Structure 1
Amino acid sequence: MATTGLEVFDRTLHITNIWLDEIMKTIGPDRHAAWHALGAVLHALRDRLPLELAVHLGAQLPLLVRGLYYDQWHVGRQPEKLRSLDEFLQRVAEGLRGTRPMDVRDATLAVLRTLAHHVDAGQVRKVADVLPGEIRAFWKEGERAAVEGAAGAAPARGGTTA
């Protein structure tokens, strides 16, 4: 069922809506808020990555999401030195200003889980590997909780891995 009459646009709209639907499962049924959460997390992530890795991640994103990812990017800037989870979440919160209130941790995890679900696993691993341990562990725990929740499994046993 064509919406725009151009297959490439229809496909990216379809895929983007799948991503937004996944984010809305966590933050609530507000597509506008999901779009802003996606952008805020992608920008915080992009601005923390080394240039080459940021570009490789961008190439893996659906066309419409890729536009959001690159929006307002200044390639000449050095990667931000966000060393802690709190600093990363604060950067995401700054990107969420002007949207409806939402839990920044939940929104961040929803986007990171969506990325891990749709982007090549090797690329996700490379991105996670350059993040500080606290942020990497947050992402991994969020993924683990989602998998266990989806499978109806018991809560995670053991500690957090970095």
Structure 2
Amino acid sequence: AFEEYAMKAFDAHAIDYLLKPISKTRFAKAMEKFFQANQALGMNIPPSNEENMHSESSNRIVLKVKNEIKIIPISDVIFLEANDDYVNIHTKEGKFLKNKTLTFYEKNLDPTQFVRTHRSYIVKINEINKIEPYEKDSYQLILKNGSKIPVSRTGFPKLKSALGI
């Protein structure tokens, strides 16, 4: 948005006007003004935190692939791999990129089905074929599809707990 349009925006009864680059703090203030204005008008739009605004159903992942919206059932997910602020979702059908963090999925996926084995990986427990030693004091998972996933020192106790060993 450009500064010269700010006056026009307020003439049109805008609640706030944001200039790029937009900080999270500034955006939150604008949203707070929005909710206060709606409350004053008697509209009941509850504020929601970022997590709720972006949460997905626990049985699917929705993403955009080219010009299509793709729905991936959680049952098709084999593992998730961190890729900066994105996640590669590996499925039986292929690999898909989603603009979420691995931490988001760690918090939202069913812990009885998925385990974080490494800072870069979350694995579906039922897809694990075997655990084998790898380098000094570490392990790797061999999945049913042949993928090899590292297990970190902090991930190993989580893995053992998830597998009940």
TM-score between both structures, scaled by the size of structure 2: 0.25
| Structure that is richer in strand per residue | 2
Higher Cα Rg, which structure: 2
| Structure that is richer in helix per residue | 1
Higher relative contact order (CA 8 A, sep 6+): 1
TM-score between both structures, scaled by the size of structure 1: 0.25
